[in-house]
Every structure is written in C-alpha cells, then in structure tokens.
Structure 1
Amino acid sequence: MSFIDKLAVVYKIQIDIDFKTYVFIGHTFDLLKEQEEVLHKLRNNKHECKKLQDKFNELINQEPKILGLHFRFKTLQGLRPAYYPDNVLPLLMEQLEKSFINTVYEDYKIRGKEYLILNDIENIKA
C-alpha cells in the first residue's frame, strides 16, 4: 500500500473551443489511469460519450499547439475508499456524479448554456 491511498474521484473534463467551455463529468477509482484511458479512447475515436468525442474531434481539427490548454481534467470531489464498505462506494460515486451533473445542468440551464454539458442528460435526469 502506498503512503497515500488512491482517491475515488468525481472529475470534470473541460474542453475549450472558440471561447466556449464544454464540460463532461465522470467518476473513477484511479484518476491517472482514467485520464490515460479517456485520452486514448478520444484519440482513437472510441469514447462512449458521442458528444464528448465530437467536441474532442472538433478541438483536434483546430490543431491546438498545446492540448492541455484546451483539454483539462479537474477534480470535483475525492473520497478515501478505505472509509467506505466496498459494496457502498460504487453506488455512492455514481450518485455523486449524477448530483454534480444535475447541479451543473440546472445552473447552465438558467443561463441558457445547457448545450455546453456533454453528458447524456436524459439518462441522468430519470
């Protein structure tokens, strides 16, 4: 075991295109691995979220000199897995992710910018 246990993380991906910031919210139990896998899927046009994939493709077509200036991961919340029973943590993380998506959606909707959210909202709002 490492000195610091890995965190269970709810994260946000931000993609900046033409002065607009698009967001995608997800969760993982290994952020570094998730970052690598998400980038690998996006670069190979295989990400499960079509809206995220489309915006990434649009960004790449603009040939950014430094991808990290336009594509960023941010941690929204981290939990220490050791504090939660194994059977509870996955459900908790899923609910936290949905809660963040709903909060962002409601905030963006008030401002008429819900189109900036790349998550599949129909599945979340149910």
Structure 2
Amino acid sequence: MISKLAIVYEIQIDIDFKTYVFIGRTFDLLKTKDEVLHKLRNNIHECKNLQDTFNRLMKQEPEILGLHLRFNSLQGLRPDYYPKNVLPLLMEQLEKSFISTTYQEYKRKGKEYLILNDIKNIEV
C-alpha cells in the first residue's frame, strides 16, 4: 500500500488583483485543507495574517470561493523513505526554506507584504 505524501503546501488568496500566500506543511493534505477551511470560516485560525486576509476576502462575498482561494503542493515526500524521527524535522526545514525563498523573491519586487506567514522565526 502506498502511504500518503508529506507535503509542503501553499495557500493563495486573491483580493483586488493581489495574490497573498501562506506556506505550511502536512502529512495529510486533504484533511489539512478541510481543517484550514473550517478554522478560517469559524474565524479561529492560528495565523492572524491568514485569518485577516480570509476575512477581507469574505467581506467581498465571492460567489465561488475556489476562484479566490487555492491550495497548491510545493513539494511532496514519501514517508516510507525516511525514518519517522527525521521526516518531521525535514518537513519543518523544507517549509522554512520555501517561506524564506518566497519572501526574498517577493521582497525584491517590493511585495513582501503579500506573504502571510510569520517570518520572525524564519531566517531571511
């Protein structure tokens, strides 16, 4: 049996022709997607920047939420190939790397404000 992928993902939210991004990691993307949407709809997501951006989106009353909010896989790893104690650390480092790279890329364009992750704990 093939196990689920460990995934570093990106959430994109489009508001007023700007695309905001949030990067996270999970061992079950479908479950995480449902949980994130549940938290956002109930105004209880732990990332304040993501929650505030989602709330702004909902004030515009989009007819089709899927046109304005997307989940994308950035990198997937097969858990069977890694020791169980190594994979969580590897996923954390991959997530930080994607956040840092995305932040630097957006900063060069003067758009680092579009990154919704808390970058205080990320080396940039």
- Bin the TM-score by the shorter chain: over 0.9
| Count of aligned pairs | 124
Which structure 1 residue ranges, 4+ long, deviate > 6 Å from structure 2?
A: none
The residue correspondences of 1:35-74 to structure 2 (distance < 5 A) are 35-74=33-72
State the match for 1:81 in structure 2.
Answer: 79
Superposed CA offset, 1:58-99 (max 9, x none): 001100000000000000000000000000000000000000
Deviation at 1:125, TM superposition (A): 2.2
Q: Percent identity?
A: 77
Deviation at 1:123, TM superposition (A): 1.5
Is 1:22 the counterpart of 2:23? The answer is: no
State the match for 1:123 in structure 2.
Answer: 121
**Structure 2 unaligned spans of 5+:** none
Normalised by the length of structure 1, the TM-score is 0.96
Deviation at 1:4, TM superposition (A): 3.1
**Structure 1 unaligned spans of 5+:** none
Superposed CA offset, 1:85-120 (max 9, x none): 000000000000000000000000000000000000
Normalised by the length of structure 2, the TM-score is 0.98
